Amino acid sequence: MSEAKAEVERPAISVVGLTKKFGDKTVVDELDMEVPRGAIYGFLGPNGSGKTTTIRMMCGLLTPDGGDGHCLGYDIVSQSQLIKERVGYMTQKFSLYEDLSIRENLDFMARMYRLKDRKRRVDKALDELGLADRQKQLAGTLSGGWKQRLALAACLLHDPQLLLLDEPTAGVDPKARRDFWEEIRRLATQGVTVLVSTHYMDEAVQCDYIAYIAYGKKLISGPSGEIPEMIGLHTWRVEGANLSALEAELRATPGIEQVARFGAVLHVSGTDAARLKAIAEEHMARGAGRWTEKKAELEEAFIYLMTGVTDNFANGAAA
């Protein structure tokens, strides 16, 4: 195998036993992870679960208290500066200068990166993110979607190999969100590895791989489409009248591990497929709802995994 091919096939990130404590609270607890190159990898979990802390440690932006690993071929502890130079980090809160124009912000960031061909890099970013026509507009006057484009353009100026996105589409309209993810997908096809911290399901489904993290612990990780199957979760969709009474009954039924309400529909889930089917047939026989078996999806899996998980940071706030 050639050296170039071996480099491509080597994971972008590989960490073992990653641990971080804030005071007496363990925010990340002995986490193992591998992230393929060119993948969009989502870190999903409730607020305060350690998602952002995990990502920052894996990329050399935060020193772990335990564990080790490599990112982009560099040691996450001893070679963290080399990693930082190859990473683009887009924070949840807009962090550029609102009293500067779009171009001025990008030019400032290009100076910070010490880019030699500054004007060309800025022009390229303006064109690729559709910002050229607005380049003289003050950043503070932009809508949430346009601020998002500007923030992404700033992250990409130095052609990073790894992109970190922290709740990237919070507060933007559906079209801006769709446009943003089209751009992220384009970057991934060019070999850029993307890490996304989120608790939104519509962002999670955009990811190639998912890791569920809850209060410092990794619960499960794998290809996003395979997560429900890995858990062994089966789901039935239930429609009909008087769903509230049926919902209460089903929650108390042995063999049903989860009942989730989605508007005028119930999603009834469990890990015993035969028992779940018997329950469905029993209810259909007495006219209690219209039952349809469906493939369990990420949202059902997420709710299932969160059930019973204890917040180990209840008196503080993990990142």
Backbone angles phi, psi at 239, to 5 degrees: -120, 160
CATH of the domain at 251: 3.30.70
Residue 312 lies in a domain: no
pLDDT for residue 167: 83
Q: Which of 208, 227, 246 is the last residue of a domain?
A: 227
- Asked if residue 216 and residue 71 are part of one domain, the reply reads yes
Cβ atoms < 10 Å from Cβ of 100 = 15
Residue 313 lies in a domain: no
- Asked if residue 120 and residue 38 are part of one domain, the reply reads yes
pLDDT for residue 169: 77
Residue 311 lies in a domain: no
- Asked if residue 275 and residue 135 are part of one domain, the reply reads no
Residue with tokens 């080790």: 68
pLDDT for residue 77: 94
- Asked if residue 184 and residue 85 are part of one domain, the reply reads yes
pLDDT for residue 310: 52
- Asked if residue 239 and residue 106 are part of one domain, the reply reads no
pTM value is 0.84
- Asked if residue 106 and residue 251 are part of one domain, the reply reads no
- Asked if residue 16 and residue 111 are part of one domain, the reply reads yes
- Asked if residue 241 and residue 121 are part of one domain, the reply reads no
Residue 22 lies in a domain: yes
Segment 285-298, tens digit of pLDDT? 999 999 999 999 88
Beta strands 193-198 and 162-166 are: parallel
- Asked if residue 124 and residue 34 are part of one domain, the reply reads yes
Q: Which of 172, 206, 227 is the last residue of a domain?
A: 227
- Asked if residue 284 and residue 185 are part of one domain, the reply reads no
Residue 221 lies in a domain: yes
Residue 308 lies in a domain: no
Report the distance separating Cα 273 and Cα 122, nearest Å.
56
pLDDT for residue 4: 45
**Domain around 268:** 234-295
Residue 97 lies in a domain: yes
Residue with tokens 């369990």: 296
- Asked if residue 62 and residue 135 are part of one domain, the reply reads yes
Report the distance separating Cα 240 and Cα 251, nearest Å.
17
DSSP state of 93: S
Q: Are 148 and 172 in contact (CB under 8 A)?
A: yes
Which stretches of the chain score pLDDT less than 70?
A: 1-8, 308-319
pLDDT for residue 7: 52
Q: How many domains would you assign to the chain? A: 2
CATH of the domain at 57: 3.40.50.300
User: What is the edge-to-edge ordering of all strands in the sheet holding 66-71?
Assistant: 25-35, 13-22, 66-71, 74-75
Residue 309 lies in a domain: no
Segment 133-171, tens digit of pLDDT? 999 999 999 988 899 899 999 999 999 999 999 888 777
Cβ burial 186-225 (10 Å sphere, 16+ → b, else e):
ebbeeebbbbbbbbbeebbebbbbbbbbbbbbbbebeebe
Cβ atoms < 10 Å from Cβ of 303 = 16
- Asked if residue 139 and residue 251 are part of one domain, the reply reads no
| Percent of residues in the chain assigned helix, strand, coil, to nearest 5 | 40, 25, 35
